[in-house]
């Protein structure tokens, strides 16, 4: 069974990547390593939108996946957008080799609320697990408590748990994970 | 066990931009939907022709045929496919045009994740509701479909025409005709063809219940309204709310109930027994009787005002003896129905048997015919034959050429009811010209004895007795009452 490699995409708050690694290892029972290099963000910046394009960040992460023979998740602290959406919390293709999660829109301060590091970490855990689930082949889940439930806004992430529901766990087990 | 996935849709993405097609497709796949994409309108129409799609997300600006033209084509070719128009440049004019042309919705690129999620969920809910609605309608159509009223005689055709005329209205109907002519069938047909078809049809046999019970059945009662009223009970008037109330044997109701029924019809409100609060009752009333209600009115047994309230529209069903020409069609249809219920092949009817059936009077009308055919089918099964002959019918041709009911029907049937081996019906003994006057008895006496014999043979089981006699249960109850028959 392949493990995970976490990659810092641009600057991150200190210790956050390590917390994400500890959580992911525990949640998926797979080994997690942290890539020594930080991925440069500059090539992905779109000045017209003042956002970063996921499509330009995923290929270098996929290269890391090929080199490390692991599933790769990048963690960023910038506003991400995709080809079709005004913004995304993260992006990963089903059964893909790499995905990305950004904590930018998970911060309560973005919505005019007081800073809350615990809430930010809790949201990050859920989104990291959500994108990891897609890489493992899980589709969106109808159970609103499950980490695989789709959240269109940050408050919806708070309704989820930072684990998969029983059915999703069973599906993973059925897929050999 | 598999994931609790959201409702699955079949989605077609039509956009000339490869990145939009790919990104949308992969996002929809993450939701578990089936997705296919097309780079232009021509390819989209080809895909739509191959199989049904729940929704098509169509870019408004494409080389060749644009999104609005494709929308119009999709509406024609695949009306159940909802079209969502996508555009990079929102303009009120194009949005209005798209919606006017029948688009389900209109979204601007790049999409707001929340908006697109809601849109897709709405489509799924809409689709599911439409499917549920379709299934329920199909199911209900099968449930409410009435048995056809068979026959081509002028009297029956006239009755059918009257049913069609009155069914879509709210008019009260009085169905008249002898027992067994199919009055309830008419009520069911009227209900099924009315706008109330999807609401309940509540049938009450007024002749089958004693006055107190009937009143409680009709009006319902509150807990403690009378001894034994342990629970609140909704009456038939309330149960028929929104639907049709069929009061069979209306001529049998007591003067007190006649007054109460008149009040309900006029006020469209009822008060449960033991309650003071009136409840609205919206029902269409169909009543039926085998009595001549006008005669009853003249005799002072039936309220004239109620009679006119009930008899707004009259449908009279002729007795079977007045429409012998319908017997071949009726008997074949009845035989087919009974054979199917008995999981038996449908037998042919021998021409001579048909002739006998056509010449018989059928005092119990279609119900008696149905019972005779059911009995014949049982006899046939025992003989392992598939042609119904004269001998299989509980009818015999008399010397004068007229058909008469066999006396032995009872013997044969009661043996069966008692669980003993079935006996072949014996032929009725020919009328003895040398009979003594002492042996001659009034018809009412013979009737009384005969009914009593059947009642005793069936251990006073009313349903079995009615079946053996070829009459309905109400008639048996009435006979018990009028002939003062007692058990034991």
Q: Vertex A115, ends A111 and A117: CA angle to 5°?
A: 120
The distance of B179 to chain A (nearest Cα, Å) reads 59
DSSP helix/strand/coil, B433:
coil
DSSP helix/strand/coil, B385:
coil
Average pLDDT in chain B: 84
DSSP helix/strand/coil, B26:
helix
Q: For residue B255, is it left (φ>0), alpha (ψ between -120 and 50) or beta?
A: alpha
Confidence of residue B365 (pLDDT cuts 50, 70, 90): very high
CA atoms of B82 and B122, how far apart (whole Å): 11
- Reduced DSSP (H G I as helix, E B as strand, rest coil) percent helix, strand, coil of chain B, to 5: 50, 15, 35
Residue B188, phi then psi, degrees to nearest 5: -65, -40
Contacts of A152 in chain B (CB under 8 A): 113-114, 117-118
**Tens digit of each residue's pLDDT (9 = 90 or more) over B189-236:** 999 899 998 888 999 999 888 877 888 889 888 777 676 666 777 889
| CA B169 from centre of chain | 18
Q: Do B23 and A83 touch (CB under 8 A)?
A: yes
Nearest residue, CB atoms, B32 vs list A55, A84, A140: A140
Q: Do B32 and A139 touch (CB under 8 A)?
A: yes
Cβ-based neighbour number of residue B473 at 10 Å: 15
Contacts of A172 in chain B (CB under 8 A): none
pLDDT over 70 percentage in chain B: 86
**Tens digit of each residue's pLDDT (9 = 90 or more) over B148-159:** 888 899 989 999
Cβ-based neighbour number of residue B73 at 10 Å: 16
pTM exceeds 0.80: no
Confidence of residue B419 (pLDDT cuts 50, 70, 90): very low
For B230-239, B341-350, B387-396, B433-442, which range has the lowest pLDDT when averaged over its residues? B433-442
Mutate to test the interface with A, among B4, B11, B116, B117 (most CBs of A within 10 A): B4
Contacts of A150 in chain B (CB under 8 A): 30-31, 117
DSSP helix/strand/coil, A165:
coil
pLDDT at B72 exceeding the cut of 80: yes
CA atoms of B227 and B406, how far apart (whole Å): 47
Nearest CA in chain B to A143: B4
Any catalytic annotation for residue A131? yes
Torsion over CA of B425, B430, B434 and B438, rounded to 10 degrees?
40
CA atoms of A147 and A124, how far apart (whole Å): 11
Q: Do B19 and A55 touch (CB under 8 A)?
A: yes
pLDDT at B89 exceeding the cut of 90: no
CA dist B417 → A75, A139, B475 (Å): 84, 64, 20
Q: Do A82 and B23 touch (CB under 8 A)?
A: yes
Answer yes or no: are the C-beta atoms of B72 and B48 closer than 8 Å. no
Which position has the higher pLDDT, A84 or B445? A84
The token pair at B36 is: 């296919």
In sign, the C-alpha dihedral spanning B128, B133, B134, B135 is positive
CA dist B273 → B227, B235, B268, B270 (Å): 12, 9, 16, 9
DSSP helix/strand/coil, B203:
strand
**Tens digit of each residue's pLDDT (9 = 90 or more) over A153-165:** 999 999 999 999 9
CA atoms of B432 and B8, how far apart (whole Å): 81
Over residues B88-105, the mean pLDDT reads 84
Q: Which of A98-102, B126-130, B369-373 has the highest average model confidence (pLDDT)?
A: A98-102
pLDDT at B407 exceeding the cut of 60: no
Answer yes or no: are the C-beta atoms of B68 and B97 closer than 8 Å. yes
Note which residues in 137-156 of chain A have CB less than 8 A from chain B: 138-143, 146, 148, 150, 152-153
Which one of A67, A127, A131, A163 is the catalytic residue?
A131
Residue B440, phi then psi, degrees to nearest 5: -80, 130
* Pairing status of strand B269-271 against strand B278-280: antiparallel
Over residues B141-153, the mean pLDDT reads 78
Over residues B3-10, the mean pLDDT reads 78
Over residues B86-105, the mean pLDDT reads 85
Answer yes or no: are the C-beta atoms of B244 and B171 closer than 8 Å. no
Answer yes or no: are the C-beta atoms of B14 and B37 closer than 8 Å. yes
ipTM of the complex: 0.82
- The contacts found for A141-146 with CB under 8 angstroms, 24 or more apart, are A141/A165, A141/A167, A141/A168, A141/B3, A141/B4, A141/B5, A141/B6, A142/B3, A142/B4, A142/B5, A142/B6, A143/A167, A143/A168, A143/B4, A146/B4
Answer whether A50 touches B (CB < 8 Å).
no
DSSP string for residues in A102-142: ESGGG-GGGGTPPP-HHHHHHHHHHHHHHHHHHHTT---BS
Confidence of residue B433 (pLDDT cuts 50, 70, 90): very low
């Amino acid at each position: 069974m392949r493990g995970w490699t976490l990659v810092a995409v641009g600057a991150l708050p200190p210790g956050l990547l390590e917390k994400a690694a500890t959580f992911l290892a525990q949640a998926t029972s797979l080994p997690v390593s942290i890539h020594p290099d930080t991925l440069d963000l500059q090539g992905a910046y779109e000045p017209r939108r003042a956002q970063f394009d996921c499509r330009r960040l995923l290929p270098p992460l996929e290269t890391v996946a090929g080199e490390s023979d692991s599933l790769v998740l990048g963690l960023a602290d910038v506003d991400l957008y995709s080809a079709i959406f005004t913004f995304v919390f993260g992006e990963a293709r089903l059964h893909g080799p790499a995905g990305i999660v950004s904590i930018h829109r998970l911060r309560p301060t973005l919505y005019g609320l007081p800073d809350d590091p615990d809430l930010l970490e809790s949201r990050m855990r859920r989104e990291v697990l959500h994108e990891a689930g897609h890489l493992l082949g899980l589709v969106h889940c109808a159970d609103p408590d499950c980490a695989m439930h789709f959240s269109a806004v940050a408050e919806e992430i708070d309704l989820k748990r930072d684990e998969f529901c029983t059915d999703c766990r069973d599906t993973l087990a059925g897929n050999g994970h | 066990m598999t994931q609790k996935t959201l409702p699955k849709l079949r989605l077609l993405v039509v956009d000339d931009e490869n990145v939009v097609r790919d990104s949308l497709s992969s996002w929809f796949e993450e939701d578990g939907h089936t997705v296919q994409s097309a780079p232009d309108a021509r390819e989209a129409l080809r895909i739509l022709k191959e199989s049904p799609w729940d929704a098509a997300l169509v870019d408004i600006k494409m080389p060749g045929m644009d999104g609005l033209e494709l929308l119009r084509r999709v509406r024609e070719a695949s009306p159940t496919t909802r079209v969502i128009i996508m555009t990079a440049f929102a303009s009120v004019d194009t949005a209005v045009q798209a919606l006017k042309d029948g688009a389900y919705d209109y979204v601007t690129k790049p999409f707001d994740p929340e908006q697109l999620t809601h849109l897709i969920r709405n489509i799924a809910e809409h689709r599911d509701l439409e499917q549920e609605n379709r299934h329920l309608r199909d199911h209900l159509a099968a449930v409410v479909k009435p048995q056809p009223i068979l026959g081509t005689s002028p009297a029956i055709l006239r009755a059918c025409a009257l049913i069609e005329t009155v069914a879509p209205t709210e008019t009260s109907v009085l169905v008249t005709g002898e027992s067994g002519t199919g009055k309830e069938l008419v009520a069911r047909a009227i209900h099924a063809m009315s706008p109330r078809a999807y609401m309940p049809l509540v049938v009450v046999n007024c002749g089958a219940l004693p006055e107190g019970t009937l009143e409680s059945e009709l009006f319902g009662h509150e807990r403690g309204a009378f001894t034994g009223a342990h629970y609140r009970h909704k009456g038939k008037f309330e149960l028929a709310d929104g639907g049709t109330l069929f009061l069979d044997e209306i001529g049998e109701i007591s003067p007190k109930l006649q007054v109460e029924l008149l009040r309900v019809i006029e006020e469209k409100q009822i008060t449960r027994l033991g309650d003071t609060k009136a409840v609205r009752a919206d029902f269409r009333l169909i009543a039926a009787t085998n009595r001549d209600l006008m005669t009853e009115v003249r005799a002072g047994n039936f309220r004239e005002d109620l009679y006119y309230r009930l008899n707004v529209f009259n449908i009279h069903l002729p007795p079977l003896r007045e429409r012998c020409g319908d017997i071949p069609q009726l008997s074949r249809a009845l035989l087919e129905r009974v054979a199917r219920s008995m999981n038996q092949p449908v037998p042919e009817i021998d021409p001579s048997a048909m002739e006998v059936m056509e010449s018989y009077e059928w005092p119990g009308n279609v119900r008696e015919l149905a019972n005779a055919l059911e009995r014949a089918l049982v006899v046939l099964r025992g003989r392992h034959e598939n042609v119904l002959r004269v001998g299989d019918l509980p009818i015999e041709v008399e010397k004068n050429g007229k058909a008469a009911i066999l006396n032995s029907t009872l013997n044969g049937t009661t043996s069966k009811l008692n669980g003993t081996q079935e006996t072949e019906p014996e032929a009725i003994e020919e009328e003895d010209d040398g009979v003594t006057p002492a042996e001659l008895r009034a018809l009412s006496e013979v009737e009384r004895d005969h009914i009593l014999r059947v009642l005793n043979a069936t251990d006073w089981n009313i349903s079995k007795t009615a079946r053996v006699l070829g009459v309905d249960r109400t008639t048996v109850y009435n006979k018990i009452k009028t002939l003062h028959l007692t058990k034991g």
